[in-house]
Amino acid sequence: MTETSHHWQERLRREAEAELRDRLLPPWQSRVLQRFAVERDDGWYTLLNQFAPHTPQNRPDAVLVGPLGVLVVLLRDTEPDWETSRAAFVWTAELLSGASVGPDMVTEAVARTVVVVPAGSPTSGDRGEHLAIDETELDRVLGRGERLLEPADALAIAHHLDSRTLDLVPVLWNPQRIPQPRGAGQLGGRTAALFVRDLRREHREQAPERPFRDWRIFLDDAQLGAVRRHYSGPARITGAAGTGKSVLALHRLAYLARRTTGKLLFTTHVRTLPRIAEKQFWSLAPQLSRRVEFTHRHAWARDFLAERGRATEVDEQQVEDAFDAVWQDDGLAAPLRSFRSARDYWKDEVDRVIKGRGIGSLETYRSVPRKGRGQQLPADLRARVWQFYCEYERQLSERDAFDHNDVLMRALKELERRPLPRPYTAVVVDEVQDLTLIGLRLVRAISGDGPNQLLLVGDGQQQVSAGGWRLSEAGISLRGRGELLRRNYRNRAAVVARAGQLAAINRFDDLDDGPAVELRAAWPVLRGGEVVEWRGANQEEALVAALRDLDDGADAAVLTHTRSAAEHWAGALRAAGFRVRPLDKWDGREPDHVHVGTVHRAKGTEFRSVFLPDEPLLSGGYREEREALNRQRLVAMTRARDHLWIGTVD
């Protein structure tokens, strides 16, 4: 530290001491506040509660706004409970709402609660929803951490807080006479910048033309409105690919967790998605991560049944064997085959229509709508299918085996018999368009339908599994509680335009009311992008060459429809010298690997470049098969942020 900067800080400290003199603060609080005030030189703006040191219990004693975000500070002789610090956070967060920087609205994820106690007093550290430190540890919050705000952002937010309440008063900075904030490189004496990890900048350097602000700290007004809205019952978020539905859902979980007690649940049928969402949530609100459970729906049902002493495990091989035993029985399968020859079609009929809807009798099966399943099944064929299904059930029980639908069904029955002793405060269901009706009933039974308890997130154009239902069939009524997101933040305009050409017809749209928006009508926020439509004979050579042409740190994926194609490409790329990772291991980093996997595993992922090689597909040429394929292609294409490569083998 130079002599000059030392003197300058000492002058600031004295000024702060003088400004605070009349307050009769305990000496240790006075020391802390003087230190805060001195930090103005490093871009921190302090607002002091006008009642301090007699601050009401549930309010902060001070709020600081600076490069590392907004600190909701409680200066207390002993560490308060989380209820108290949570109330102080919410009070500050309500003041923050409406703060904006340009068109971007500031989210409460910019804020964290810090409890400061006198030197040597015991603290719980950062194990809870607030960080507790003693007065000697202030560097932990003022000098270390991820840089979240640019100097001008911090000043704008400090101004906003000052203008929203008389309870907070600026200390050592005058909102009327604004000192010009210094740039990051010119920060004062101890240059916090030295040990602040500027992740946002690193991020931007990797993608220089992405002008976005950090999704954790800034949302658009439609997104933030939905995060904060009170819903008197179940609600849904819909919007085309890449419009920030999952981001919104995570913010909402954090928002609700801050204002309630108890556990919250994020669930979906996609096996890999909970892990991805959990990581994102951690980066959004690490202090709250213990409050939210991220669980694949089948895993939830399985664990729940085990807890209730009714363990139900699925042995996939036994299930396949049971089905094949019936499929190979000509007497039962031949009538079905002569209508539709594909085994998977009938597997879907059993899994998604009969068992997926919990149909218990031929009478019900005769009258059930078979949404998205193609041609009508004549009545006599339905009777044959029913016989087929009954034999499948018999085969399962002969093997003492259960399939995935059995697990969901048993969990549902068990919940109906004895509900959860401590219900979740809120449940978010992502990729809702691919649930079965039983799956939907189960989440409704888990969540209940009280205010803010159930949020359904999905997009009918991205449905990749067969079947459909109406929400009312699961006893869910939205009554207009729906949000529609329109701005696509992920894909550049060229990618949106190409994916928008697909006839990915939304057959699902029965999230009963509210309009759906197709990708072609979404607003891509980013211009540019590149789509290469390759056509030729040697696809492998062409794809490998195109992958090699990418810059270092390729951040690329090869997506396929079938598992066998994924295995083929993983082998081919390894042989060509690439580092390959299976798609279900994606964690948003590892840009030096090429990820390979099926589109079913691609939910929740995104890459700078995506390659869609041509692959032979078994198809009977049915309309609903083509539509399903197009929806899968739409999912695959919209995983690409900047570049898309589409192969066609002549």
The CB-of-134 to ligand ATP minimum distance in angstroms stands at 37
> Environment class of residue 330 by beta-carbon count within 10 Å: exposed (0-12), middle (13-18) or buried (19+)?
exposed
The CB-of-488 to ligand ATP minimum distance in angstroms stands at 8
Listed in sequence order, the residues at least 6 apart from 435 whose beta carbon sits closer than 8 Å to its beta carbon are 269, 297, 429, 443
Q: Which is nearer to ligand ATP, 44 or 215 (CB)?
A: 215
Q: Which is nearer to ligand ATP, 245 or 410 (CB)?
A: 245
Cβ contact 521:561 at 8 Å: no
Q: Which is nearer to ligand ATP, 265 or 572 (CB)?
A: 265
Q: Which is nearer to ligand ATP, 80 or 239 (CB)?
A: 239
Q: Which is nearer to ligand ATP, 33 or 511 (CB)?
A: 511
Backbone angles phi, psi at 383, to 5 degrees: -65, -40
> How far apart, in Å, are the Cα atoms of 170 and each of 18, 115, 523?
14, 20, 41
The CB-of-206 to ligand ATP minimum distance in angstroms stands at 13
The CB-of-223 to ligand ATP minimum distance in angstroms stands at 6
Tokens of 503: 């006839």
401 Cα distance to chain centroid: 34
State the maximum Cα–Cα separation within the chain, in Å, rounded to a whole number.
95
> How far apart, in Å, are the Cα atoms of 129 and each of 74, 83, 134, 144, 355?
13, 9, 16, 19, 43
The CB-of-213 to ligand ATP minimum distance in angstroms stands at 6
Q: Which positions touch ligand ATP (CB under 6 A)?
A: 212, 215, 218-220, 223, 239, 241-247, 459, 462, 489-490, 606, 638
Instruction: Determine which helix (DSSP H) or strand (DSSP E) holds 530, and give its type and residue range.
Output: strand 530-536
Q: Is the dihedral of CA 146, 151, 156, 162 positive or negative?
A: positive
576 Cα distance to chain centroid: 34
Backbone angles phi, psi at 418, to 5 degrees: -145, 105
504 marked among binding-site residues: no
Give the integer Cα–Cα distance in Å for 216 and 582.
27
The CB-of-143 to ligand ATP minimum distance in angstroms stands at 27
The CB-of-638 to ligand ATP minimum distance in angstroms stands at 5
Identity at 193, one-letter amino acid code? A
Q: Which is nearer to ligand ATP, 103 or 421 (CB)?
A: 103
Q: Which is nearer to ligand ATP, 521 or 545 (CB)?
A: 521
Distance linking the first and last C-alpha atoms of the chain: 69
Cβ of 186: how many Cβ atoms within 10 Å? Answer: 11
Tokens of 119: 């030197």
The CB-of-462 to ligand ATP minimum distance in angstroms stands at 6
Q: Is 138 helix (H, G, I), strand (E, B) or coil?
A: coil
Place of tokens 């439509």: 533
Instruction: Determine which helix (DSSP H) or strand (DSSP E) holds 264, and give its type and residue range.
Output: strand 264-268
Q: Is 581 helix (H, G, I), strand (E, B) or coil?
A: strand
Give the integer Cα–Cα distance in Å for 595 and 639.
12
Residue whose CB is nearest to ligand ATP in the complex, by number: 244
DSSP code of 153?
A: H
244 marked among binding-site residues: yes
245 marked among binding-site residues: yes
Write the DSSP string, 441-497.
HHHHHHH-SSTT-EEEEE-GGG--SS----GGGGT---TT-EEEE-EEEEEEHHHHH
242 marked among binding-site residues: yes
Give the integer Cα–Cα distance in Å for 115 and 135.
10
Q: Is 223 helix (H, G, I), strand (E, B) or coil?
A: helix
The CB-of-585 to ligand ATP minimum distance in angstroms stands at 18
Tokens of 629: 């394929």
Q: Which is nearer to ligand ATP, 58 or 100 (CB)?
A: 100
The CB-of-352 to ligand ATP minimum distance in angstroms stands at 21
Backbone angles phi, psi at 612, to 5 degrees: -120, 90
Give the integer Cα–Cα distance in Å for 224 and 227.
5
The CB-of-159 to ligand ATP minimum distance in angstroms stands at 22
240 marked among binding-site residues: yes
The CB-of-285 to ligand ATP minimum distance in angstroms stands at 15
Q: Which is nearer to ligand ATP, 28 or 212 (CB)?
A: 212
Give the integer Cα–Cα distance in Å for 9 and 39.
9
Q: Which is nearer to ligand ATP, 104 or 627 (CB)?
A: 104
Q: Which is nearer to ligand ATP, 319 or 583 (CB)?
A: 583
Q: Which is nearer to ligand ATP, 83 or 221 (CB)?
A: 221
Give the integer Cα–Cα distance in Å for 352 and 92.
47
Listed in sequence order, the residues at least 6 apart from 545 whose beta carbon sits closer than 8 Å to its beta carbon are none
Tokens of 272: 């890999």
> How far apart, in Å, are the Cα atoms of 146 and each of 36, 124, 217, 279, 364?
19, 22, 12, 16, 58
The CB-of-25 to ligand ATP minimum distance in angstroms stands at 40
Tokens of 493: 């305009």
246 marked among binding-site residues: yes
The CB-of-75 to ligand ATP minimum distance in angstroms stands at 34
575 marked among binding-site residues: no
Q: Which is nearer to ligand ATP, 348 or 606 (CB)?
A: 606
Q: Which is nearer to ligand ATP, 452 or 488 (CB)?
A: 488
- Extract the annotated binding site for ATP: 239-246
- Extract the annotated binding site: 239-246
